[in-house]
Structure 1
Amino acid sequence: MSALLLQSIRSLVPVSDDQWLRIEAATQHRSFKKDEFISRDGEINRFTNFIESGSLRVFHIDRDGQESVIQLGVRGWWASDFASFTNQQPGLLHVQALESTELRSFSYEAVHRLFEELPVFERFYRLLVQRAYAAFQNRMLQNLSMDAEQRYLQFRQLYPELNEQIFQKHVASYLGMSAELLSKIKKRVYESDKQQKRATKPS
């Protein structure tokens, strides 16, 4: 039983035990080694993925070979090339495991079968997509309105698990800056945090 997946679904919609058994039966357990690709640019992504353990990144490579991280994911998160999955067309993104990663995946066919059989699952999926879209819009607004240090501080506050678990170069790409700049920002923030702790420490 995937207790973590059940928790993710029940955080958005109530599902009975019988409904949960039907949902879980529609999943596929998939394992990936570090650096292994889950899907690639040019392929049709046939799965939407829930991360049981490990971490992954969703990224784009431009014509000059420059990588841009679009999404990061850790345990308890959903991640995939969503546009390719939804439209069942060749994608523009790579999805790669950053460490040994275990997924619970729903195929395109399984998702639509559950939509027909279990309206509660369709509602869950709609709410999941709405939240993801809202988060993406907020991120775009932050990139337009915040400087690099503000973006990092916001990221650290919202996603402490990503800040701790994901390699710095991937976090930097996600935040739209170089790894060198992120390193300088983290050092400056660390020193600022230390000074604040000293100032508030009882004498």
Structure 2
Amino acid sequence: MNSFQALLTSISPLSAQTLAQLELILVADGLKKGDFFIREGCVATEIAFLEHGVVRAFYTNKQGKEYNKTFFTAPAIIGSYASLISKKKNSLPQQALSDCSIWRLNYAAIERLSENNAELERLRRKIAERFFVANEKKQLEMALLEAKERYSIFKQEHPGFEDIIPQYHIASYLGISATQLSRIRKN
């Protein structure tokens, strides 16, 4: 719980009263390796604080090939924001790559709390801004950088990750084949 408070206050300062209100709507839960936080085709109703573990967000093409879009490593906030905001079906499932500890939050409850709380509104805006910036950064890296450079950035941003998850997940995230990743790692 303290790591949740630390993450939120690092994004935007929150009073003890606001933190207490959030704690009232938090539900402790877990995901086993392979479990989904949200599946494709479902309409999202909640987000979660990832206290421990690794979750991937991915999509599957028409041929059934999976592509990892994002990795979430604790501490992080997970959930399908596009589905939450649009109230449409999710197209980016999120799956645990390790056993995870999470704290679930009902999105409608967060919206109700935010109506009269400027701190929560500011926090929500800053979280959305962070996701926007991270998404743009990843898009630029994929478009402008060589695979070797993307791998170097990946290692800096996710130290020790290669010991936790299979190489094919990392290759997919980098937009290369497992063979290409193996060659890059040898060099």
Fold similarity call, TM over 0.5: yes
Give deviations 1:76-95, integer Å, cap 9, x for gaps.
Answer: 01222221122121111211
Alignment of 1:169-184 (within 5 A): 169-184=168-183
Could you list the runs of 5+ residues in structure 2 that have no partner in the other structure? none
Could you list the runs of 5+ residues in structure 1 that have no partner in the other structure? 189-203
Give deviations 1:19-46, integer Å, cap 9, x for gaps.
Answer: 2111111222221111011211111111
1:46 aligns with 2:39: no
Alignment of 1:67-86 (within 5 A): 67-86=66-85
- Cα distance, 1:159 vs structure 2: 2.8
- Cα distance, 1:166 vs structure 2: 3.3
1:144 aligns with 2:135: no
Rg: which structure is higher?
1
* Structural RMSD (CA): 1.5
1:35 aligns with 2:28: no
Equivalent in the alignment of 2:21: 22
Q: TM-score, normalised by structure 2?
A: 0.93
Equivalent in the alignment of 1:198: none
Which of the pair has the greater relative contact order for Cα pairs under 8 Å at 6+ separation? 2
- Cα distance, 1:14 vs structure 2: 1.5
Q: Secondary structure at the match of 1:117?
A: coil
Supply the distance in 2 between the matched residues of 1:4 and 1:132 (Cα, whole angstroms). 19
Percent of aligned positions that are identical: 28
- Cα distance, 1:73 vs structure 2: 0.9
Supply the distance in 1 between the matched residues of 2:19 and 2:162 (Cα, whole angstroms). 32
Q: TM-score, normalised by structure 1?
A: 0.86
1:115 aligns with 2:114: yes
Alignment of 1:61-100 (within 5 A): 61-100=60-99
Letter in 2 for 1:12: I
Aligned length: 187
Supply the distance in 2 between the matched residues of 1:186 and 1:109 (Cα, whole angstroms). 45
Give deviations 1:85-115, integer Å, cap 9, x for gaps.
Answer: 2212111121111111111122121120121
